[in-house]
Structure 1
């Protein structure tokens, strides 16, 4: 996969930022001593923004379940379809929690293609996303994009950081994206409470879009994957269809409901081709707040 992609030693240092407020590698601790789920996801997608420790962990997962790269691609194309559909419904504000490494097209590229005035707020807790955040801030002149570093399991802090940026107007509808995030929030971190807290801050007419890995089609492999992540410092928990559907309990699901991600409003050429349910192992859905 090549050498470490970020210039600088990644060992931290005095704070500093460019004209956009984006810090560089020499200014932040990149956590190169421990794998991170966002960088492993980047590896699954064929990206280069990952380190040896991430590649070793990702290869361990691939040995257990080679289709994990298909899961990542299905998730990415689902995100593109879902946010485009939301923008076509008239949503003009988006909050993307668990952004991951910027991979073009990014969420703002999709929604601002539908309407240039869309505003997008990105949130992640991986410091390397901060380093590359300039790729998340290149939106249209008519719209606005922003990025904050925050932990999804502290939804009050997430909301405070977003509000401080002034990109999102909480008096207007917002689409909240939680894509491939909640399987990294085990039950002891109150994932349902996290979602409820975030959605409670949004006005009626707002939406939730999420995707979530499942062990429904290969429980043994997915338990081994969970154990692999957990041993390397990233707690994880896959969930059943009923458990994923529960995230939408207080909302009105849009058709076709909670389904495997490749079956959510599929478009010709928008996925990795013919794949089995086991290879996808990812539920997704979009719902509207009453």
Structure 2
């Protein structure tokens, strides 16, 4: 079967001006001053009524910028995965000339912006924007031990499926994703994935449980007491046995055995979960005190 020729008119791409080059130079200067990676844009650039948030878990860790609740949840889950590291958010594709070439070769309109009216005449009109990818991170392939880089774009289902006359907006979104996919896979040799809100990672129990666990990630427990409490938990959780217990009952029983406050034991439980000392099924309603089932190592599978 012969492929039909592309009848779509050749698009005129936006120009790459000195204004965009200036933005790139300013970003590189900020990165150099910071001494490490910085997201291209920050949540402070968005309305305070939106879902944009900033996060830096440790003083030595990279700052993360999330522009949606979906991105925040994804960052939370990546932070827990045992084989994921070096997570970067709002990763800029600074070689704008190259992304323009990709857009032209695919005959898709490159993302663009129109600067404020007070710019010099040579910088007026639509011009090529710096594209960004939501997440770029390293992971260890569990089957080979090889360290690989993965790039991901996150979208809500409603942003990918036309409805109520938003066909044009959805098509522009998909065009941008096509450009990103080609850039990462064909030019960089990096795996690229589009993650939608329907992805298994956004299970409500998983997100709620990991939110609880991360709150207690830095819990300070004296070393001797830590060993003792962990041993009590492992014994009480009945791993490998048919009868399961609710977390609230486990905590209540341990409180009676150890004379430690229930609140302190709840915190210790989540600390052990976050630090992988206890492996439990996080797809169960544990944050609500539900039944505890044994889990497995939580990692990204290629």
- TM-score by length of structure 1 reads 0.28
Greater RCO (Cα-Cα under 8 Å, separation 6 or more): 1
- TM-score by length of structure 2 reads 0.27
Larger radius of gyration: 2
